[in-house]
Chains A and B, each alone.
Chain A
Amino acid sequence: MTFLSSKTPAGILALILRVVLGVIFLYAAWIKLREPWALFAMAIDSYQVLPAWAVELVARALPWFELLLGVLLVAGVWRHVPAAAASLLLAVFFGLMVRAMAKGMEIDCGCFGPGDRLSWVTLLRDGALLASSLFVTARAFRQRDWNRSQAA
């Protein structure tokens, strides 16, 4: 099972992508946490998918969740769990962005603080992050399964 080794090109790529994803999540969290939470709430509310109470909850909690994900991804702790969570989160973001673009909404992406307008560029950026995260997740699960089979 050398293809799962982190010394293979795919393994090195997965390692790099995991750390890059982690740093991006840390950056996204830092940007949101240094500013009033209501600015992020405004961006979430602009997507018009959640009631006000849920908007406030997400605006207050999501940056901390992103911070936790970033730390776990960079540290490489329980690799498959944060990788799967990151993929799920990015898939939700991507879906919301596609929906907003399809509806012609002229709104902020909300990804990296205020002023980040939703556009094809932000969509491509999020799509690339999602693809990277899915690759890292698949790798992490295969690694976990392989480790289990070796232990058995």
Chain B
Amino acid sequence: MKLLIAALAILLPVLAAAPDTIHGNAFGDPKAPILIEVFSDFQCPGCKRFHDEDLPLIVKDYVAPGKAYLVYRYFPLAMHPYGRKAAELVCACAQLGKYEQAADILFARQSAWSQDGKLDETLAAVLTPAERQKVATLIGSPSVQKPIDSDMAEGAALGVKGTPTVLVTYKSRRYPLVGEGLFNYRWIKATLDDFLK
């Protein structure tokens, strides 16, 4: 994830240009030719795999060079008891400019908090005490609840059934990427390269 963080640091000035509906969970140039939306659940093992294996490569090859704009969509599944709370916490952290730190630590320690539900304690590793206080006050606010509800409604409207689901938009056409094939970066790269050639 160092690669992801490094790439995101380079892109921080661009993040300010993100649309109002996105709060710290979008990366890259909004005017990039390709839009990549990742519908993900922090408690989903497949999402962890995608976050750990594919996402850093996508950021390095397409987001950092300005070829793609990456948007993380909160899509906690009902089957995961801590999925919604994790999304709320990360969304609150994103508003403090700590999306990637929060996402990284939650995915890294997913197996532990999925068992004991100790999400606040897990996030304490990347937040200062003052930030933890802010997160605690933000979590029930519309600024956190609305983006999650909005992402979930959008996903449902687009037919997103499970996670991770990646929607690639190129020239106004949306291509859903799902299934095991999603974990082979070779196909993602070939698809994106095909669009860009």
Binding site for B on A (CB under 8 A): 35-39, 41-46, 48, 52, 105-108, 114-115, 117
Q: Known contacts A52-B184, A106-B162: does B176 contact A42 (CB below 8 Å)?
A: no
Interface of B is mostly: helix
Q: Is A36 a contact of B194 with CB atoms below 8 Å?
A: yes
Q: Is B180 a contact of A48 with CB atoms below 8 Å?
A: yes
What would 10 A/B residue contacts be, using CB atoms closer than 8 Å?
A36-B195, A38-B188, A39-B175, A42-B181, A42-B184, A45-B184, A105-B180, A108-B179, A117-B161, A117-B178
Q: Is B179 a contact of A106 with CB atoms below 8 Å?
A: yes
19 additional contacts, CB 8 Å, given A39-B187, A46-B182, A106-B178? A38-B194, A39-B175, A39-B177, A41-B181, A42-B179, A42-B184, A42-B188, A45-B181, A46-B178, A46-B180, A46-B181, A105-B179, A106-B161, A107-B179, A108-B176, A108-B179, A114-B177, A115-B175, A115-B176
Q: Known contacts A36-B194, A106-B179: does B159 contact A115 (CB below 8 Å)?
A: yes
Q: Is B179 a contact of A37 with CB atoms below 8 Å?
A: no
Binding site for A on B (CB under 8 A): 159, 161-162, 175-182, 184, 186-191, 194-195
Q: Is B187 a contact of A45 with CB atoms below 8 Å?
A: yes
Which residue on B lies nearest to A115, using beta carbons?
Answer: B176
Q: Is B161 a contact of A43 with CB atoms below 8 Å?
A: no
B162 — which chain A residues lie within 8 A by C-beta?
106
Which residue on A lies nearest to B46, using beta carbons?
Answer: A106
Of B177, B187, B191, chain A has the most CB atoms within 10 Å of the CB of B187
A52 — which chain B residues lie within 8 A by C-beta?
184, 186
Which residue on B lies nearest to A59, using beta carbons?
Answer: B187
CA of A131 to CA of B131, assembled, Å: 63
Which residue on A lies nearest to B170, using beta carbons?
Answer: A36
Closest 4 CB pairs of A and B: A46-B179, A42-B181, A38-B190, A36-B194
Q: Is A44 a contact of B190 with CB atoms below 8 Å?
A: no
CA of A35 to CA of B175, assembled, Å: 10
CA of A41 to CA of B180, assembled, Å: 11
CA of A108 to CA of B190, assembled, Å: 18
Which residue on B lies nearest to A48, using beta carbons?
Answer: B180
A41 — which chain B residues lie within 8 A by C-beta?
181, 187, 190
Which residue on A lies nearest to B177, using beta carbons?
Answer: A42
Q: Is A107 a contact of B180 with CB atoms below 8 Å?
A: yes
Q: Is A107 a contact of B178 with CB atoms below 8 Å?
A: yes
A105 — which chain B residues lie within 8 A by C-beta?
179-180
CA of A115 to CA of B175, assembled, Å: 7
A53 to chain B, nearest CB (A): 10
B163 to chain A, nearest CB (A): 10
Q: Is A36 a contact of B191 with CB atoms below 8 Å?
A: yes
Of B181, B184, B188, chain A has the most CB atoms within 10 Å of the CB of B181
Which residue on B lies nearest to A106, using beta carbons?
Answer: B162
Of B161, B182, B191, chain A has the most CB atoms within 10 Å of the CB of B191
Q: Known contacts A107-B179, A114-B176: does B161 contact A38 (CB below 8 Å)?
A: no
CA of A27 to CA of B179, assembled, Å: 23
Which residue on B lies nearest to A118, using beta carbons?
Answer: B179
